[in-house]
Structure 1
Amino acid sequence: MKTAAHVPGTRTAPWRSAAFRRFVLANLISATGSAMAPLALAYAVIGEGGGAGSLGLVLAVNTVPTVAFLLVGGVLADRMSRSRILLVGNLVAAAAQGALAVIVLSGAASTASIAACGFLSGVAVAFTVPAGQGVVNQLVAAEHLQRANALVRLPSNAVRVLGPVVGGLVVALCGPGWALSWDALTFLIAALLLHGLRLDAPVTAHSALSDLRAGWAGFRSRTWLWTYTVAGMVVVAAWLAGFQMLGPVLAATLYSGARSWGLVQGAFALGLLAGALVCLWWKPYRLLAVAVCTASLLFLPLTAMGLGLPLPAVLFAALIAGVGLDVAIVAWTTAFQLHIPDAELGRAGSFNSVGERLAIPLGYLLAALAAGAWSDREVLLVCAGVIVAATVLNLCVRDVYRINRTTPKPS
């Protein structure tokens, strides 16, 4: 497989590489559509007469194929050209979103047809996520990985600040079909940009099943990797249950409702943007330990809302949590790329992603059950405590402190 060491000119700063700029631009353009898509999808379901149940069904149908096919995507990412997988995945996503836009604009949308398009989009995600995790490694030398990862996230985080606002205006003025049309177009443009990367495919003499078994053996043998995945699954479940599910409910009762919740989400998005900027200059030595610690800052807004603190305190807590999360993502991604062989990145990443995505329904289910026994504020505080407890337990793993910036990657 072609790596940064074999690509001429990649020993320079990442931004001087034309291939890297092409990859970042593809991610940025795709992000502008993806930032509008959730709002547009929700109003597309509402527009055809569906309620919370219909929207939940659509979201579930979108998530299930992603989880189901992630391991297949991980195996293919280590057997095929990753740029080719990203190209095809973006084309499939463009087709799915384009079909959804057409049926919404034509007035023929139904819960079943929207869910069918969502299923196809979920399949595309299952293949593009593992492939995308190994692309930066092939474009940038090891000493530039953290800066490159921060540069990939920086423009996308900026879009997350403005995207929902612009998406809301487009949906309000033109309808959800046009926002979905833009999402489809961005996937198509991204596919055309990714077509120019032309990364080499790895050479393998093993069967796909053998590769999957070897990938699982490698994942299981790395204590730092599977313990981080398990801890991450717990943190993601608690965060989604507290922030995404109960946050809007608390905002309606404790603050001014949608307006306040929009400010909280905006503060969190600004924190993500600031976190990417931090990673451009701060290069911590103990990458994994930093990732574990900074991700734990997600407990702050949950605690602030659970205690009923004034809105400015919640906004500040959300801002700091956003900074911490993006620093954690960049530090984790860099550690992952440095300490996993290039030939195993797809499979290792897919096992990690399966754990995090399984946390989504788990977190919502447990929060719904807990809400029957405790108040919403008490559940938020429990979620915050779970995040802290998972962090402390993960920091007790000795291997966490071995995954640093200078340890050479195994061959």
Structure 2
Amino acid sequence: MRVPAFRRFVLASLVSATGSAMAPLALAYAVIGQGGGTGSLGVVLATNSLPTIVLTVVGGVLADRLSRSRILFLGNLLAALAQGVLAALVATEHATTASIAGCGFVSGIAVAFTAPAATGAVGQIVAAEHLQQANALLRLPGNAVKVLGPVAAGVLVAAGGPAWALSWDAVSFLVAALLLLGLRLSSPVTTGGLLAGLKGGWSGFRSRTWLWTYTAAGTVVVAAWLAGFQLLGPVIAAGHYAGARSWGLVQGAFALGLLAGTVVCLRWKPYRLLAVAVATGGALCLPPLALGLGLALPWVLLGAVLAGVGLDIAIVAWTTALQQHVPQDELGRMSAMNGVGERVAVPLGYLATALAAHALADRTMLLVCAGAIAVATVLNLCVRDVYRVIRR
């Protein structure tokens, strides 16, 4: 925090996190407000995720060739424009499913370019020995906002409609863009065009066994987690617990675990970074397992807290390992290729659940999801290269 550029980066992350925490609820009610239902919301969410899947690798190539601070500035500016237009459409009651999806598509493009640049930017700002603490500090405000943001969004939407929350999201992106413009990070020293960058990135990704095996296992883990917790969790809570009240407690417990995991990462510096990331990420199997077994709510809450702690430790340890073991001129592409796997898992998990819904009971599918997370974790821990990625 003594580094001025890092303080600026943290402040930008905090400001944009406040808007991003409100946006999902506001977006859902914007779709409902113009007469849309589940199908319309699904179209909007799919349209938002499509460009991040297709363009993230291109964003990684550019992050290894251009100034990352300039990419972050332009990406946040584009997101501010998209959310501002959306807020105006909703406020004037001219929003349609198509227009909302179009704004979401533009926002998805912004994410595709800013996500790889952000990972590399931290490595340029902070010394290697402080990377883990820097990554943890960056996650701290976002995790804190996840606890309060949805509540604030609910109050704001109830009082004045979704346009107000969407307007704040646009303003937060604009403020973050202006803060990031002041970083003025130099461009990585690279040669060759876009196609050569893509080929070189794929070659580097494939040659690192620890990287592609972690990405493959992570795709399975994320898909099973989204299907088991995000999709089936509310359904089970409605049928076997106290409905929305119980599910709100579970979500709060998970957010609390994320915060606790961040605090752990500020103090604990594991030596085998990647092995710790793999093992702690396996804790995501606990909430689906508890729900699938029909355990009492306190056990589900405990599983959610432990899953949150494990996930945040895994993210910080993984990001630190990537930044320490990948050269700066490849970091954007390696981060992007890992990110593609996680983003592909979103439609994959939902689609697999939809196909299995006719053949399996909800609780059985939850147990399958928990088992898939556990098996993927164990198989990844069997990869010898995982234990060679150590703290430097």
**TM-score, normalisation: structure 1:** 0.95
1:103 aligns with 2:74: no
2: distance between equivalents of 1:207 and 1:30?
32
Q: Aligned partner of 1:21: which letter?
A: R
2:21 is aligned, of 32, 35, 38, to: 35
The equivalent of 1:137 in structure 2 is: 123
Structure 2: segments with no counterpart, 5+ residues? none
1:346 aligns with 2:297: no
Q: Aligned partner of 1:91: which letter?
A: L
1:72 aligns with 2:58: yes
2: distance between equivalents of 1:202 and 1:278?
32
1:194 aligns with 2:177: no
CA distances 1:97-127 after superposition (whole Å, capped 9, x unpaired): 0000000000111001101100100110100
2: distance between equivalents of 1:301 and 1:286?
26
The equivalent of 2:256 in structure 1 is: 270
1: distance between equivalents of 2:166 and 2:61?
31
Q: Aligned partner of 1:259: which letter?
A: R
CA distances 1:199-257 after superposition (whole Å, capped 9, x unpaired): 00123231111111011100000000000000000000000000010000000011111
Q: Aligned partner of 2:350: which letter?
A: Y
1:209 aligns with 2:195: yes
The equivalent of 1:9 in structure 2 is: none
2:244 is aligned, of 249, 258, 282, to: 258
Structure 1: segments with no counterpart, 5+ residues? 1-14, 407-411
Q: Aligned partner of 2:224: which letter?
A: A
Query: How far did 1:171 drift?
Result: 0.7
**TM-score, normalisation: structure 2:** 0.99
Q: Aligned partner of 1:272: which letter?
A: L
Query: How far did 1:155 drift?
Result: 1.1
* Matched position secondary structure for 1:202: coil
* Matched position secondary structure for 2:242: coil
On the 8 A contact 2:287/2:300 being kept in 1, the answer is: yes
Report the RMSD for the aligned CA atoms in angstroms: 0.6
User: After the TM superposition, which segments of 4 or more aligned residues of structure 1 sit over 3 Å from their partners?
Assistant: none
1: distance between equivalents of 2:86 and 2:300?
37
On the 8 A contact 2:190/2:329 being kept in 1, the answer is: no
The equivalent of 1:362 in structure 2 is: 348
CA distances 1:167-205 after superposition (whole Å, capped 9, x unpaired): 111111111000000000000000010011000012323
1: distance between equivalents of 2:250 and 2:105?
31
Q: Aligned partner of 1:47: which letter?
A: G
The equivalent of 1:322 in structure 2 is: 308
On the 8 A contact 2:214/2:380 being kept in 1, the answer is: yes
1:147 is aligned, of 125, 130, 133, to: 133
The equivalent of 2:207 in structure 1 is: 221
2: distance between equivalents of 1:210 and 1:341?
17
The equivalent of 2:78 in structure 1 is: 92
2: distance between equivalents of 1:156 and 1:364?
25
Task: Trace 1:14-29 onto structure 2 (pairs within 5 A).
Answer: 15-29=1-15
1:279 aligns with 2:294: no
Query: How far did 1:353 drift?
Result: 0.6
Query: How far did 1:147 drift?
Result: 0.6
